[in-house]
Amino acid sequence: MHLTEVIFIGLPGPTHHYGGLSADNVASSSNKGALSSPKTAARQALSLARALMARGQTVGLLAPQLRPYIPLLAEYFPTALGADALIEIAAKENPTLLEKASASSAMWAANAATVSPSPDNADGKLHITTANLQTNLHRRIEASDTHALLAAIFKNVPDSVVHPPLNPSPNRGEARRGADMATAAQQCPLPNPPPTGEGIQYMDEGAANHMRLGLLNVFVYSDAGRQSLSASETIAKNHGVKHALFVKQNAEVIARGVFHNDVIAVSNDNVLLVHESAFADSGDTIRIAQVYEKIHGQKLIVITILDAELSVDEAVATYLFNSQIITKPDGKMAIIAPEEVGILYDGKAQKLLEKIRADASNPIDEIITLDLRQSMRNGGGPACLRLRVPMLPAQLSALQKTTNVIANDALLAGVEAIVEKYYPDELSASNLGNPELYHACQKMRDEMLALMKL
């Protein structure tokens, strides 16, 4: 079956800012309060789309969500106030809550969903499970709109199923309340603290913890991090994945800032680029390669980076593993890395990439570095900004006929015009209380969805 991979790029919204909202994410924590540029952030995401298109990739665009997220503010200030008044009250009484409600974090599309395409699944359908993003309140609020967006995009795509986010606590009546709400309540003192509950069972952050090596679906989970084994197993089961492998993340690297597997490993087709400390069991990389070989009758090309070559801290700072590896039309592969690989530590990470490029035992023949600093300052590199959806010809053609999400020059120009009109050049947390920003976001979203025929 011939598949075309659509690389969906998540677009930042007009409220893109640095809230320091993810405690386990080094870049997010250390850039709290910095001045952001939503306009530059959007332009940088579009430059990533262009770099992919220039290398023969099929690119899709995901519209930003509406922020601030009014339902969250209404939960904390349960009055009959309208959106503008809620924003103004939150700015005065609970600025931390307003920052969470304003996060533009849906741009990190790798956390939108887990995808297994038709050939991987027993029923021959394309399955997509929207992530429930339970770890952080500012991300949990993405799930319902992401589900609606994906359902709209794939509505007329034959043999495709968009699943809703997993219920995080199926054994409890008040499903969406749990430990994260308790933490949120401590972080944002509330007029009406929500009830606290037992821990959450099903934590899912989507494709950032899933690697597709040919037909082999590797699900990476942890006890200490953002992806639980129960969630990964449920997704594999619901999708009917024929070849699934569950691999445990190394808790030590999570503590050093590897909050998703895609911060320490990246794969494409028959290539796996991984740090030696990525998994709890150092034999897991060999196990993955063995299972791959059994399924495909050919060897997996494993490129292991040793701690002596690049430490975990250096990997987290440079985001070398958060690169995208893509297959070009001639069958060779390219790596799209963030510019930081060449800037930090005397370009040590970039030298490693050049070594990989020069090594004829792998298909990688091009290294591209991009300035994605606006996203990088929140811990989002090239791989965070994309959701890969491999599609059959009939599925792709239906998608193209019924929506306008697949990028071409006209769509990019249309999106750029919206960005120029509604995105601030600069933004700090103190501007989030201005209802005009919310109105700009509403117009942006209406125009963007109309342009994309959604």
Candidates 105-113, 173-181, 310-318, 433-441: pick the segment binding ligand SUG (CB under 6 A).
Answer: 105-113
Residue closest to 203 by CA, chosen among 182, 173, 189, 224: 224
**Which residue among 127, 147, 239, 260 is the active-site one?**
260
> Could you tell me which stretch among 37-45, 308-316, 375-383, 419-427 binds ligand SUG (CB under 6 A)?
375-383
Per CB under 6 A, does 378 bind ligand SUG?
A: yes
Work out which of 7, 26, 48, 103 binds ligand SUG, going by CB under 6 A.
103
- 384 catalytic per annotation: yes
Stretch that binds ligand SUG, among 101-109, 114-122, 231-239, 435-443 (CB under 6 A): 101-109
Judge contact between 18 and 36, C-beta under 8 A. Answer: yes
Candidates 20-28, 141-149, 340-348, 389-397: pick the segment binding ligand SUG (CB under 6 A): 20-28
What phi and psi values does residue 36 have, to the nearest 5 degrees?
-110, 165
Q: In what order do the strands lie in the sheet containing 210-213?
A: 210-213, 216-221, 244-248
12 binds ligand SUG (CB under 6 A): no
Among 260, 275, 386, 388, binds ligand SUG (CB under 6 A): 260
Q: Minimum CB separation from ligand SUG for residue 286, in Å?
A: 25
Active-site residue identified among 205, 210, 239, 275: 205
Question: Which one, 178 or 414, has the nearer CB to ligand SUG?
Answer: 178
Residue 105 lies near ligand SUG (rule: CB under 6 A): yes
Window of 283-291, 337-345, 379-387, 440-448 that interacts with ligand SUG by CB under 6 A: 379-387
Binding status of residue 262 toward ligand SUG by CB under 6 A: yes
Encoded one letter per residue, x for contact with ligand SUG by CB under 6 A and - for no contact, window 23-42 reads --x--x--------------
Stretch of 88-96, 104-112, 146-154, 184-192 contacting ligand SUG, by CB under 6 A: 104-112
Per rule CB under 6 A, is residue 18 in the interface with ligand SUG?
yes
Shortest distance in whole angstroms from residue 261 CB to ligand SUG: 8
Dist CA 122 CA 244 (whole Å): 12
Residue of 99, 127, 384, 441 with catalytic role: 384
Among 49, 110, 265, 273, binds ligand SUG (CB under 6 A): 110
Q: Which CB, 179 or 454, lies closer to ligand SUG? A: 179
Q: How many CB atoms lie within 10 A of CB 360?
A: 7
Residues 304-363 that bind ligand SUG (CB under 6 A): none
Q: Does 212 bind ligand SUG (CB under 6 A)?
A: no
Active site includes 260? yes
Q: How many residues bind ligand SUG (CB under 6 A)?
A: 22
Q: Least CB distance from residue 136 to ligand SUG, whole Å?
A: 6
Position among 9, 11, 21, 253 found at the interface with ligand SUG (CB under 6 A): 21
Interaction of residue 146 with ligand SUG, rule CB under 6 A: no
Question: Which residues of the shown chain bind ligand SUG in the complex (CB under 6 A)?
Answer: 18-22, 25, 28, 103, 105, 108, 110-111, 139, 208, 259-260, 262-263, 378-380, 384
Q: List the catalytic residues.
A: 205, 260, 384
